[in-house]
């Protein structure tokens, strides 16, 4: 019998994949967490040019090329109202690696990490892998995370809490006041706030503010990526920003586990961040239109769904048996409890699919809902 680490034994393969595998080949897939748009041409071209010019053959600096880190710093000053030195940025293999190194660098055995429930599946898994103890917190009725609930969940053993806005799986967007509160809590309790902002460009109502804009103590690290903003999930390019001391610790993990992010992807990311932003706008407008159609559909079905103000997910409350009924009829959706205990009784619907297919799926979901009444 091979011996495995207790940390890895606490983690299982995400339930989302099982749903895909259970459905037929012709199923409509509303389970996907990636935009259904191509990567902007100028980003693709920048990678191709870098490859042709022989610029992408070798390791880059561990933190990533200087020009990419400068582009990231400029992006944060322009879009997010906070200054970061390009030296305090690490380009990572997607937002996933950024979350991983943030937790690895800060969590000791048994220390607690607070995160939203329902929430993105990686928070719990990466906490386990770092040897920490997951502390999921329930959400408000509108599926945002209440800063007061986070503050209540803190104990002497808490080392970090995760904020995710706009959120997967709920589509919820935290208000600027909440973000200010999260920064205050991080400062007052001297815990780390990990702000996962990968859906930042998909906000339809309200606005995205980063807790980093309110951070005066260096207790906020920001995780972001090109994946969702520029439809670049396959490129695997994200980043993390933080105080110099924190970045130096995260770099120790990144350096040994990853060496550097993929060089061609770094050139593509730089072009995406500095080039025309039309695709970002096009995607946001398309997602908003689809969200509205989907919400109308839920209303007609009599399903309650807190209005998702961002990302490309909706999380309606669904009757018992709904998810199976919908999947049996050929539409893949993800059961809410794949995202935590409090997701029970909900389903996550991704509307990263064209309008025609989405409307077809809405009709099928309506039939499934009617069949259960
Ligand atoms: N954070 C959230 C909330 C996500 O939903 C995802 C991907 O689905 C990630 C981070 C990871 O993104 P990436 O593909 O850049 O690793």
288-322 confidence digits (pLDDT tens): 999 999 999 999 999 999 999 999 999 999 999 99
pLDDT at 16 over 90: no
For residue 99, report the distance from its CA to the centre of ligand 1, in Å. Answer: 9
Q: What percent of the chain has pLDDT over 70?
A: 97
Put the strands of the sheet holding 334-335 in their side by side order: 313-314, 347-350, 334-335
Q: 10 Å Cβ neighbour count for 11?
A: 15
**240 phi, psi to nearest 5 deg:** -135, 140
pLDDT band at 22 (very low <50, low <70, confident <90, very high): low
- The CATH topology of domain 41-274 is 3.40.640
pLDDT at 17 over 80: no
Ligand 1 contacts CB of residue 238 (under 6 A):
yes
Beta strand 347-350 with 313-314 is antiparallel
pLDDT tens-digit readout, 63-83: 999 999 999 999 999 999 999
pLDDT tens-digit readout, 237-281: 999 999 999 999 999 999 999 999 999 999 999 999 999 999 999
Share in percent of the chain as helix, strand, coil (round to 5): 45, 15, 40
CA distances 235 to 28, 43, 345, Å, are 25, 10, 34
pLDDT band at 25 (very low <50, low <70, confident <90, very high): confident
Beta strand 112-116 with 158-164 is parallel
For residue 227, report the distance from its CA to the centre of ligand 1, in Å. Answer: 7
Mean predicted confidence (pLDDT) in 180-191: 98
pLDDT at 15 over 90: no
| Mutate which of 92, 97, 102, 122 for ligand 1 pocket (most atoms within 8 A of beta carbon) | 122
The domain segmentation of the chain, as residue ranges, is: 6-39+278-371, 41-274
Predicted confidence at residue 90, as pLDDT, reads: 98
Q: Buried (b) or exposed (e) across 151-171, using 16+ Cβ within 10 A? A: bebbeeebbbbbbbbbbbbbb
User: Who's near 318: CB < 8 A, 6+ residues apart?
Assistant: 303, 336, 345, 346, 347
Reply yes or no: is the peptide bond before residue 296 cis, omega within 30 of 0.
no
Please determine whether the domains at 6-39+278-371 and 41-274 fall in the same fold group of CATH. Answer: no
For residue 101, report the distance from its CA to the centre of ligand 1, in Å. Answer: 14
Q: So what's the architecture of 6-39+278-371 in CATH?
A: Alpha-Beta Complex (3.90)
pTM: 0.97
For residue 95, report the distance from its CA to the centre of ligand 1, in Å. Answer: 5
Q: What percent of the chain has pLDDT over 90?
A: 95
CA distances 101 to 220, 287, 360, 363, Å, are 14, 31, 41, 43
For residue 116, report the distance from its CA to the centre of ligand 1, in Å. Answer: 15
User: Who's near 97: CB < 8 A, 6+ residues apart?
Assistant: 238, 254, 257, 258, 261
Average pLDDT, the chain: 96
Q: How far apart are CA 147 and CA 153, in angstroms?
A: 10
Which residue puts its alpha carbon closest to atom 8 of ligand 1?
33
Q: How far apart are CA 130 and CA 105, in angstroms?
A: 8
* Spacing of C-alpha 153 from chain mean position: 22
User: Which ipTM did the prediction report?
Assistant: 0.99
Q: Which residue has the tokens 């103890």?
A: 133
Beta strand 238-241 with 220-225 is antiparallel
pLDDT at 21 over 90: no
Q: Which residue has the tokens 């997607």?
A: 94
Q: How far apart are CA 129 and CA 109, in angstroms?
A: 10
Ligand 1 contacts CB of residue 225 (under 6 A):
yes
Ligand 1 atom, smallest distance to 227 CA:
15
| Mutate which of 32, 167, 225 for ligand 1 pocket (most atoms within 8 A of beta carbon) | 225
């Amino acid at each position: 019998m091979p011996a495995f680490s207790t940390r890895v034994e606490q983690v299982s393969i995400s339930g989302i994949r099982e749903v895909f595998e259970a459905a037929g080949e012709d199923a409509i897939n509303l389970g996907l967490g990636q935009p259904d748009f191509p990567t902007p041409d100028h980003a693709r071209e920048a990678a191709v040019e870098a490859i042709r010019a022989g610029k992408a053959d070798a390791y880059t600096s561990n933190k990533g090329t200087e020009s990419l880190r400068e582009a990231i710093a400029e992006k944060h000053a322009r879009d997010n109202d906070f200054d970061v030195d390009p030296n305090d940025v690490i380009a990572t293999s997607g937002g996933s690696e950024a979350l991983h190194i943030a937790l690895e660098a800060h969590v000791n055995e048994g220390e607690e990490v607070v995160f939203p429930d329902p929430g993105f599946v990686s928070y719990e898994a990466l906490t386990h892998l770092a040897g920490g103890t997951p502390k999921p917190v329930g959400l408000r009725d509108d599926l945002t995370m209440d800063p007061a609930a986070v503050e209540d969940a803190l104990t002497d053993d808490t080392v970090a809490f995760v904020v995710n806005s706009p959120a997967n799986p709920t589509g919820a967007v935290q208000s600027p006041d909440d973000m200010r509160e999260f920064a205050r809590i991080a400062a007052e309790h001297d815990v780390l706030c990990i702000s996962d902002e990968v859906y930042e460009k998909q906000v339809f109502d309200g606005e995205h503010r980063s807790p980093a804009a309110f951070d005066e103590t260096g207790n906020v690290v920001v995780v972001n990526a090109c994946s969702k903003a520029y439809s670049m999930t396959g490129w695997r390019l994200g980043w993390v920003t933080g105080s110099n001391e924190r970045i130096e610790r995260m770099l120790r993990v990144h350096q040994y586990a990853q060496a550097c992010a993929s060089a061609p992807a770094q050139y593509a990311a730089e072009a995406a961040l500095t080039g025309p932003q039309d695709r970002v706008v096009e995607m946001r407008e398309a997602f908003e239109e689809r969200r509205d159609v989907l919400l109308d559909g839920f209303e007609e079905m009599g399903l309650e769904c807190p209005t998702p103000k961002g990302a490309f997910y909706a999380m309606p409350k669904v009757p018992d048996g709904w998810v199976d009924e919908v999947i049996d009829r050929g539409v893949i959706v993800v059961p809410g409890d794949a995202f935590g205990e409090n997701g029970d009784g909900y389903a996550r619907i991704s509307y990263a699919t064209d309008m025609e297919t989405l409307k077809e799926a809405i009709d099928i979901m309506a039939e499934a809902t009617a069949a259960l009444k």
